[in-house]
């Protein structure tokens, strides 16, 4: 009798722990903070006045409309532009998320967290640019669809990296 009671007292915390773990898993599925409220895309461009011949096969020409737009910005005036990579991720209501436009490399990454929808057509974010696993920039921009935010990135080879962050979609609230 004593052995059965002792065994019950040993197993009771385990059984209670399993039950609470299952309840926590159920709650995480219903977590409103994980609701997708939009989508962000980050693109890394390379601008240079030098040669673009030895950039590798992942460096693709930039459409004329984008190169014209970049060329109108004083700090971004280069002879040649190439796209090095792009990534898009959902914007979660209350959680931070990351984009890594140079996958599989993690040399340039952006973290973002929603601060709310403004005017039903734009999104305020906490945005951080990370280079070599160090935060190098923090901003709280308001992004609008089809209006990318351009960030002058680090010097690279004979030019500069340019990071474009764009709100691709926004769920109407």
Residue 87, pLDDT > 70, answer: yes
Segment 55-74, tens digit of pLDDT: 878 889 999 999 999 989 98
Residues 18 and 76 in one domain: no
Segment 152-162, tens digit of pLDDT: 998 888 899 99
Residues 5 and 72 in one domain: no
Residues 61 and 41 in one domain: yes
Residues 61 and 115 in one domain: yes
Distance (Å, rounded) from C-alpha 35 to C-alpha 21? 22
Cα–Cα nearest to 170, from 88, 86, 91, 89: 91
Tokens of 165: 């962050």
Segment 18-30, tens digit of pLDDT: 555 554 445 556 7
Residues 17 and 67 in one domain: no
Residues 71 and 155 in one domain: yes
Distance (Å, rounded) from C-alpha 97 to C-alpha 14? 34
Residues 106 and 22 in one domain: no
Segment 45-55, tens digit of pLDDT: 999 998 888 88
* Averaged pLDDT of the chain: 83
Contact status, residue 105 vs residue 129, Cβ threshold 8 Å:
no
Residues 58 and 132 in one domain: yes
Residues 68 and 122 in one domain: yes
Supply the DSSP symbol for 34. Answer: G
| Tally of domains in the chain | 2
Residues 25 and 42 in one domain: no
Range of the domain at 13: 1-30
Contact status, residue 37 vs residue 91, Cβ threshold 8 Å:
yes
Residues 95 and 22 in one domain: no
Residues 138 and 114 in one domain: yes
């Amino acid at each position: 009798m004593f052995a059965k009671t002792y065994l019950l007292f040993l197993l009771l915390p385990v059984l209670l722990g399993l039950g609470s773990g299952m309840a926590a898993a159920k709650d995480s599925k219903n977590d409103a903070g994980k609701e997708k409220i939009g989508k962000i895309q980050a693109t890394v461009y390379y601008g240079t006045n030098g040669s673009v011949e030895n950039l590798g096969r992942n460096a693709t020409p930039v459409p004329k409309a984008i190169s014209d737009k970049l060329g109108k910005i004083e700090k971004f005036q280069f002879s040649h532009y190439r796209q090095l990579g792009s990534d898009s991720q959902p914007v979660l209501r209350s959680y931070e998320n990351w984009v890594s436009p140079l996958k599989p490399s993690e040399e340039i990454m952006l973290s973002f967290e929603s601060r709310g929808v403004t005017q039903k057509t734009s999104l305020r974010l906490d945005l951080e640019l990370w280079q070599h696993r160090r935060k190098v920039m923090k901003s709280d921009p308001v992004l609008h669809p089809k209006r990318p935010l351009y960030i002058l990135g680090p010097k690279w080879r004979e030019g500069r990296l340019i990071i474009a962050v764009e709100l691709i979609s926004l769920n109407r609230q």
